[in-house]
Chain A
């Protein structure tokens, strides 16, 4: 079935460091891809999305590019801040499917 695999955490970085969180997917067709973020004590919020190959999603300095050839959607940010500390989830959704599939989540801690 359709699934998402993302790098295990936790990830600990210093402020202003470069961030990459890897995400790869398995799907029978061409899914839409998402990154969600969960701040402490809150539900998930959509961070960015890409709905077709080579699309780049971006928001709040985060970026991810939909790579069909490597079935990947890696999350990157050039300079992280303490306020970026959260759990990040990669997810996919197939067209005409009600079931969004989530990765296990990666906890990011940014230290000042």
Chain B
């Protein structure tokens, strides 16, 4: 079974802090994704990566950056957290030529 783990289930940070969210997968998938999930808005793509050191902006990249130094690990960075970044963050992976996306359990981030 594919396993996608996220570093924290719940996180509380202060405005202006730098925040790191980590995602690790164990299935050698090429593609990794970061989404945020907000009520009534569904999932919105922040960034994705299709290979090590490669990244592409999604729909809402502002205020975020990402890092993929190893194939199994994809980090989301909030350079200076703001209250409007309070949300549920979901990581997902997908192999090339495969349709199924596998999701981690999510990190609920609260910025105060």
Contacts and interface: CB of A to CB of B under 8 A. Distances in A.
Nearest to B38: A104
Given A51-B99, A98-B48, A43 B106 contact: yes
B100 A46 contact: yes
B101 A100 contact: yes
Contact of A98 (B35, B56, B100, B103): B56
Contacts of A69: none
A45 B103 contact: yes
Nearest to B100: A46
A32 B99 contact: yes
B48 A102 contact: no
Interface residues of A, number: 20
Interface in A21-62: 32, 34, 36, 41-46, 49, 51
A5 to B, nearest CB: 10
B61 interface: no
A93 B45 contact: no
B4 A89 contact: no
A99 B45 contact: yes
A93 B42 contact: no
Given A43-B105, A44-B103, 8 more contacts: A36-B103, A42-B106, A43-B103, A44-B92, A44-B101, A46-B101, A98-B31, A102-B43
Q: 7 tightest A-B contacts by CB? A: A43-B103, A104-B42, A102-B43, A44-B103, A102-B42, A43-B105, A43-B104
